[in-house]
């Protein structure tokens, strides 16, 4: 987990899962809790959005996806090649796109 705090540019939190392309539900819950701490967005909505973003990234050839909520942006990368991995970033809406 990495927290980036730059008031002139962006504040966001990034979480990585390197064990496979399919993190546990506990990992998504932790990610949503961290995302809530940075964005103030509802934790339940962040968790659902992170799951949607993950699924979309797995289906996309670029391995990337984004989900936009009213008060948060979720960006992710997910893949199964080479053992798989997932990265999910949470930022306040409008800060990171």
Q: List the domain boundaries for the chain.
A: 2-92
93: pLDDT confidence band, cut at 50, 70 and 90? confident
Report the sign of the C-alpha dihedral through residues 42, 24, 31, 82, in that order.
negative
Neighbours of 79 (CB within 10 A): 18
Q: Which two tokens stand for residue 2?
A: 């990495």
Beta pairing class for 85-92 and 10-17 = antiparallel
User: Once rounded to an integer, what is the mean pLDDT over residues 77-81?
Assistant: 96
pLDDT in tens, 11-36: 899 999 999 999 999 999 999 999 99
Give the pLDDT score at 95.
60
């Amino acid at each position: 987990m990495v927290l980036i705090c730059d008031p002139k540019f962006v504040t966001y939190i990034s979480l990585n899962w390197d064990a496979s392309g399919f993190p546990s539900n506990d990992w998504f819950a932790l990610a949503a809790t961290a995302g809530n701490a940075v964005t103030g967005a509802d934790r339940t909505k962040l968790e659902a959005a992170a799951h949607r973003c993950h699924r979309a990234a797995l289906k996309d050839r670029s391995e990337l996806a984004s989900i936009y909520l009213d008060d948060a942006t979720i960006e992710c990368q997910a893949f199964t090649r080479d053992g798989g991995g997932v990265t999910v970033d949470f930022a306040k809406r409008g800060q990171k796109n």
